């Protein structure tokens, strides 16, 4: 039996929109921008640090190593969006996968709060899964219900420190939806929206406003569901040290 770790719960996010879902609920004490944007404070009296890793596996590895070294977290959580691969999953569905997969590597188990309805797995890859046919193909080959770009690296770095992360992801683009690459360029590598790029896109392609509005609506549905699930998880964590 190890003694209960005293550090904060660290919530790892990729893009600014994901971080904001948590920071707007945080009684924040501090915000720092380097080496990774992070905000420390309290949610329901629990110490929480929200870290913005940026998008993709390389940043996820560096941010996870840095967060573990810096905060000695009592719990590590990954919170954000995912693409749906299973065609029955709808926009805003929240998943707490029990295992993360990556092509050519062994699956890594994830922490779970008690029995969940059905075993869910998530696939991490280097790129976005953009079109319905690409998602269908990934679903057939991997069997995973959802896809993202950071969870595998977070879990593998955490495992080196004997930590098993909790992963909470909401479907922001389901298996029937195409993600428009132009919209992803509106976000820089550290997960910030680039306002200049938004204006350029709208001027060069006025119809893109429809896509932007849909993206905004989908993100709102997913955000509300994600926060509800994260809060519930944080409440239940208080009775458990780290992870099984």
Residues that bind ligand 5AD in the complex, under the rule CB under 6 A: 14-15, 55, 80-83, 128-129, 147-150, 172-173, 179
**Least distance to ligand 5AD from the beta carbon of 183, Å?**
10
**Least distance to ligand 5AD from the beta carbon of 83, Å?**
2
9 vs 15, which CB is nearer to ligand 5AD? 15
Q: Where do we find the tokens 């000695």?
A: 72
15 vs 41, which CB is nearer to ligand 5AD? 15
Expressed in percent and rounded to 5, the helix, strand and coil fractions of the chain are 35, 25, 40
Residue 107 DSSP class: E
**Least distance to ligand 5AD from the beta carbon of 168, Å?**
13
Q: Which residue is at the shortest CB distance from ligand 5AD?
A: 83
Give the separation between CA 28 and CA 82, rounded to whole angstroms: 26
**Least distance to ligand 5AD from the beta carbon of 187, Å?**
8
**Least distance to ligand 5AD from the beta carbon of 98, Å?**
18
41 vs 83, which CB is nearer to ligand 5AD? 83
Query: Which residues lie below 8 Å from residue 144, measured CB to CB, with a gap of 6+?
Result: 85, 101, 121, 122, 123, 138
Cis-peptide into 35, omega within 30 deg: yes
77 vs 128, which CB is nearer to ligand 5AD? 128
Q: Per-residue b/e over 191-218, b at no fewer than 16 CB within 10 Å? A: bbeeeeeeeebeeeeeebeebbeebeeb
55 vs 110, which CB is nearer to ligand 5AD? 55
Q: What angle do CA 115, 121, 127 make, to 5 degrees?
A: 150
**Least distance to ligand 5AD from the beta carbon of 13, Å?**
8
Classified as helix, coil or strand, 233 is helix
217 vs 236, which CB is nearer to ligand 5AD? 217
């Amino acid at each position: 039996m190890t003694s209960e770790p005293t550090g904060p719960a660290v919530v790892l996010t990729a893009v600014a929109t994901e971080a904001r879902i948590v920071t707007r609920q945080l009684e924040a004490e501090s915000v720092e921008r380097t080496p990774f944007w992070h905000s420390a404070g309290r949610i329901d009296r629990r110490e929480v640090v929200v870290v913005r890793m940026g998008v993709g596996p390389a940043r996820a590895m560096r941010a996870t190593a840095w967060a573990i070294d810096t905060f000695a977290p009592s719990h590590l959580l990954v919170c954000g969006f995912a693409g749906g691969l299973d065609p029955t999953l709808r926009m805003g569905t929240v998943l707490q996968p029990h295992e993360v997969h990556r092509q050519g590597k062994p699956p890594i188990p994830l922490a779970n709060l008690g029995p969940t309805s059905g075993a869910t797995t998530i696939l991490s890859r280097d790129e976005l899964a953009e079109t319905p046919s690409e998602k269908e193909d990934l679903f057939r080959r991997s069997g995973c219900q959802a896809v993202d770009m950071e969870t595998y690296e977070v879990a593998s770095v955490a495992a080196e420190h004997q930590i098993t992360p909790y992963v909470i992801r909401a479907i922001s683009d389901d298996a029937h939806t195409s993600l428009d690459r132009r919209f992803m360029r509106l976000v820089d590598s550290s997960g910030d929206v680039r306002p200049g790029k938004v204006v350029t896109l709208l001027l060069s392609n006025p119809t893109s406003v429809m896509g932007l509005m849909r993206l905004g609506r989908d993100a709102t549905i997913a955000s509300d569901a994600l926060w509800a699930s994260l809060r519930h998880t944080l409440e239940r964590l208080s009775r458990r040290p780290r992870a099984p």
